[in-house]
Amino acid sequence: MQASSARTIGKERVGEWLGRLLTTTEVIAPALAHAGDVLFRRISSPAEVQWDTDNPLSPPKQVVLPQTDPLAAIRRGSDGFTVEPVYDERSRVLLAVRSCDAKGIAFLTSMHGADLPDTAYLRRVAAVTVVSVACTKPCPLGFCICCDAGPFLADSFDVQLTDLGDRFLAEVGSEKGSRLLEPSADLFRPAAVNEVERRRELEEQAKRAFGPETCHFASAMRRVSTGRVSAELWDEIAGSCLECGACNFVCPTCYCFSVKDQRRDGHWVRCRTWDSCQFRAFTLEASGHNPRQDHRERVKRRFFHKVSAQYFRRDGAIGCVGCGRCVKVCLGTTDMPAVVAAIREGAWHG
């Protein structure tokens, strides 16, 4: 990063910046909800943004890949049925996203753009501008450093903010990021060399603060990809999984789905809905055959998708961003760090 490409804004002026954004676009940010929970939701005032908070349990992937995502409207008329695609191209700013979640959105975008491009997803994400906040200290359960997903980013953001105390340093990572800051250029100034250097110091401090790595994906990837994980070990791991699907639903990179039809206002809407590869019915075929009837096979499939070299080559990244949400929600002990450690060591510790 060159000093000439970075800008700074005093924290006393951030409210004015957000106020301007709110007059032209929808802004989604971590904000207080019922019972004191912090969720990513639409805000109406700059004061609602929770800057200093733990990463919300529900990831912001719901903005680009909603839990119930309308894909097509089906109507019956005098000439028969018509099917029209449904697109959501609302201009939105996704604000104060942590590095891991920005990487998660980039992963989903890459996946949905590959092979047969998913037009509904790609049109939606193209209208979303991601403003991430670099993490100057690790999350208690996070291991983004093991996934090239933080604590600071070199890509996968439109604007990246770094907290320098009384001001934010802003890095622009895309054309969307430039367009976002341009109308408020009077609130930002070019960053000084010492501010850019301070940002680098904070990144190095954050990396050192992780201590011993909590995941070693490379060695686990070799074992998974070459079939060197025994069936007995997969059985032991599966025995600690309650098949609740929580890990899938809070994961920033999971995209398993089912398709359902909903009746709305006299017509039908075909929707993509979140699903879990850990549910037995997920792979149940109309014939009654289930290729992953055994729980072991479903657990094995999940981690093959996340960790194997085959998927790494296809997607350009492992299917994990180290956010630590699976550690928090798992009712058993089959979170990513525990399973990767078991695969690497060839033994399950429960």
For residue range 314-349, list pLDDT tens digits in order: 999 999 999 999 999 999 999 999 999 999 999 998
The residues, any chain, with a CB within 8 Å of residue 222's CB and separated by 6 or more, are: 228, 309
For residue range 80-123, list pLDDT tens digits in order: 999 999 999 999 999 999 999 999 999 999 999 998 999 999 99
What DSSP assignment string belongs to 87-136?
Answer: -----EEEEEEEHHHHHHHHHHHHHHHSSS--HHHHHHHHTEEEEEE--S
Distances (CA, A) of 314 to 78, 191, 250, 282, 307: 46, 38, 23, 23, 12
What DSSP assignment string belongs to 285-345?
Answer: -TTS--TT-SHHHHHHHHHHHHH-HHHHHHHSS-S-----HHHHH-SSS--HHHHHHHHHH
pLDDT value of position 62: 97
Structural domain boundaries in the chain: 3-65+87-208, 217-256+275-345
To the nearest 10°, report the CA torsion of 33, 139, 92, 125: -130
Place of tokens 């109309």: 286
Paired with 130 in beta bridges are 94
Q: How many CB atoms lie within 10 A of CB 215?
A: 22
pTM: 0.94
Residue 251 phi/psi, 5° resolution? -80, 130
Task: Answer yes or no: is pLDDT of 31 > 90.
Answer: yes
| Cα-only R_g, the chain | 22
For residue range 226-249, list pLDDT tens digits in order: 999 999 999 999 999 999 999 999
